[in-house]
Amino acid sequence: MAARQCPNCLAIVSPGKVLAYSDDLVCPGCGKPLEISDLSRNVAMFIALAVAVLAWYFASVNFSNDDSALGWILPVVFSYMALSIAAPILLILFADLHLKSAGALPVADATPAPHSPHH
């Protein structure tokens, strides 16, 4: 099955909906609730962490002679930016969708009746 494809009706879900509504994803074709598989999320994050480590390494090599605060903060900033960019892109590429199980559906919160003061 292709990435971002509904297993029920085989409709392709847009990348923007996968990223914006990853927890409350609904199929545009059949209207069933979907979820991104844990394997897809873990693979995307593992590869994004590897990209972040590489960004940190290359930035720390380039700024190793700088004795100011930029010498240690820029590698951290660059690795954070690399993680923040790589994770959504990889999730777009590898998002395997499953039908959301009945136990995972959100339950509507019932607001309790206001308590009357006791005299």
User: Is 99 within a domain?
Assistant: yes
User: Is 37 within a domain?
Assistant: yes
pLDDT at residue 19, as a whole number = 82
> Looking at this protein, which amino acid is placed at residue 107?
V
Distance CA 43, CA 3 (A): 13
Q: Taking the model in full, what pTM does it have?
A: 0.72
Overall domain count for the chain: 1
Q: What SS3 state is found at 98?
A: strand
pLDDT at residue 86, as a whole number = 94
Q: Are 29 and 6 in contact (CB under 8 A)?
A: yes
Q: Among residues 40, 47, 51, which one has the least CA distance to residue 3?
A: 40
Neighbours of 103 (CB within 10 A): 5
User: Is 116 within a domain?
Assistant: no
User: Is 6 within a domain?
Assistant: no
Q: Range of 64's domain? A: 15-103
List residues bridging with 5 in a β-sheet: 12
Backbone angles phi, psi at 66, to 5 degrees: -85, 120
User: Is 30 within a domain?
Assistant: yes
Q: Among residues 39, 5, 34, which one has the least CA distance to residue 104?
A: 34
User: Is 39 within a domain?
Assistant: yes
- pLDDT tens-digit series, residues 43-100: 999 999 999 999 999 988 887 776 777 777 888 999 999 999 999 999 888 888 888 8
User: Is 88 within a domain?
Assistant: yes
Over residues 9-38, the mean pLDDT reads 85
Q: Among residues 1, 23, 29, which one has the least CA distance to residue 14?
A: 29
User: Is 113 within a domain?
Assistant: no
